[in-house]
Amino acid sequence: MAEAGRIFVGTPAARLDPISGEGAPFAIRTAILAAAVLTHDGPAAEAIDYYQQRILTSFLSHLSGCQTFYADAFFLDADWQLELRKSGIARSVLEPVLRTSDGMAPELRLEGLSLVAAKETASG
């Protein structure tokens, strides 16, 4: 998703299910967040870590939403059952990654187009 010298936005950061209608807003959100990462005043590593946490959180939320929706809408279809199982496997792999790095996550948040310390406001 991000590393020194490279940052991925939109589909290259996370490929969302096109049926969900979440792909375009996600692409815009990640582009805004990536711009804030690139102009961050603090250490690059903390901004990159924050970015990766946000992408992972969004992707897990997306998977969870898709699972709920598809389980209701396509519960009789074998192909969708397979898709649901794959989503479950992806979540079980990714959720521990989020929990593990959560403790080390920087205390940042997006304010306007900038990353600021989570407890800071625009006025300081």
Ligand X SMILES: Cc1cc2nc3c(=O)[nH]c(=O)nc-3n(C[C@H](O)[C@H](O)[C@H](O)COP(=O)(O)OP(=O)(O)OC[C@H]3O[C@@H](n4cnc5c(N)ncnc54)[C@H](O)[C@@H]3O)c2cc1C
**Contacts with ligand X, residue ranges (CB under 6 A):** 10-11, 16, 18, 21-25, 27
Smallest distance from the beta carbon of 9 to ligand X, in angstroms? 6
Smallest distance from the beta carbon of 21 to ligand X, in angstroms? 4
Name the residue with tokens 């997006």.
110
**Whose Cβ is closer to ligand X: residue 21's or residue 112's?**
21
Percent of the chain as helix, strand, coil, to the nearest 5 = 60, 10, 30
Alpha-carbon dihedral 63, 65, 66, 69, rounded to 10 degrees: 160
In 3-state terms, what secondary structure has residue 110? strand
**Whose Cβ is closer to ligand X: residue 8's or residue 80's?**
8
Smallest distance from the beta carbon of 65 to ligand X, in angstroms? 13
